Amino acid sequence: MMGLTLAHHLAKKHHVTVYEQADQVGGLSTWHDYGPFTWDKYYHVILRSDTSLLNLISELKLEDKLFWKQTKTGFLWNGSHHSFSTPWEFLQFPPLNLWQKGRLGTGIIYNALIRNSEKIAHLTAKEWLTRISGKSVYTQFWEPLLISKFGALKDQVPAPILWSTLKRYFTTREKGQEMVGTLSDCGMKVLFDALIKGIDHVHTNTNIDNLSVLPNNKISICENTYDAVISTLPRSILKKIYPAYETSYPHPTYLGVIRVALLLKKPFSDCYITNLIDRCHPFTGIIDVTNLVPSSTLKQHSLVMFPRYDIPTSPWFEKSDAEISSLFLESIHTLIPDLSDQLVACFVHREKRVQALWIDTPPPAIEPFRVSQAPIWSLNNEMIGQETLNNNSVINLATQGAKWIDSQLTSQLT
Q: What confidence score (pLDDT) does residue 274 get?
A: 92
Q: Does a structural domain hold residue 105?
A: yes
Give me the phi and psi of 117, to 5 degrees please. -75, -5
| H or E segment and range at residue 396 | helix 391-413
What domain count does the chain have?
1
**95 found inside a domain:** yes
Ramachandran region of residue 367, left (φ > 0), alpha (ψ -120 to 50) or beta? Answer: beta
Burial classification of residue 371, based on how many CB atoms lie within 10 Å of its CB (0-12 exposed, 13-18 middle, 19 or more buried): buried
Q: Give 340-373 pLDDT, tens digit per residue.
A: 999 999 999 999 999 888 887 777 766 667 776 7
- CB of 133 within 8 A of CB of 142? yes
352: amino acid identity, one letter: K
- Confidence (pLDDT) at 333: 96
54 pLDDT exceeds 70?
yes
* Mean pLDDT across 43-50: 90
Q: Look at residue 387 and tell me if it is in a domain.
A: no
pLDDT at 413 over 90: no
Q: Does residue 326 contact residue 18 with C-beta atoms inside 8 Å?
A: no
Q: How confident is the prediction for the chain on average, in pLDDT?
A: 89
- Burial class from Cβ neighbours inside 10 Å (0-12, 13-18, 19+) for residue 226 reads middle
- Reported as a pLDDT band with limits 50, 70 and 90, residue 172 is low
Q: Is residue 19 part of a domain?
A: no
Q: What is the pLDDT of residue 387?
A: 76
Closest CA to 275 of 86, 140, 75: 75
Question: Does the structure show a pLDDT above 60 at 175?
Answer: no
- Is 324 within a domain? no
The answer to whether position 296 is within a domain reads: no
How do 73-77 and 273-276 pair as beta strands?
parallel
338 versus 175: which is more confidently predicted?
A: 338
Q: Tens digit of pLDDT for each residue in 73-85? A: 899 888 888 888 7
376 within some domain: no
Q: How confident is the model at residue 174 (pLDDT cuts 50, 70, 90)?
A: low
What pLDDT score does 177 carry?
62
Round to whole Å and give the CA distance between 69 and 337. Answer: 29
pTM for the model stands at 0.90
What confidence score (pLDDT) does residue 145 get?
Answer: 87
pLDDT grade for 92, boundaries at 50, 70 and 90: confident
Domain containing residue 100:
87-175
Q: What is the DSSP string of 336-375?
A: -TTHHHHEEEEEEEEEEEEEEE-SSSPPPPSS-EE-SSSS
Handedness of CA 363, 6, 185, 392 (dihedral sign): positive
- pLDDT per residue as tens digits for the range 120-167: 888 999 999 999 999 999 998 999 889 888 888 888 989 988 888 887
pLDDT tens for 284-313 read 899 999 999 988 899 999 999 999 999 999
133 domain-assigned: yes
C-alpha distance from residue 8 to each of 1, 12, 104, 160, 196 (Å)? 10, 7, 43, 31, 8
CA angle 171, 176, 178 (to 5 degrees): 50
- Which CATH number do you get for residue 95? 1.10.3110
> Lowest-pLDDT range, 37-51, 145-159, 189-203, 255-269?
145-159
Judged by DSSP in three states, 86 sits in coil
Distance CA 305, CA 41 (A): 10
226 pLDDT more than 70: yes
Residue 64: how many other CB atoms lie within 10 Å: 8
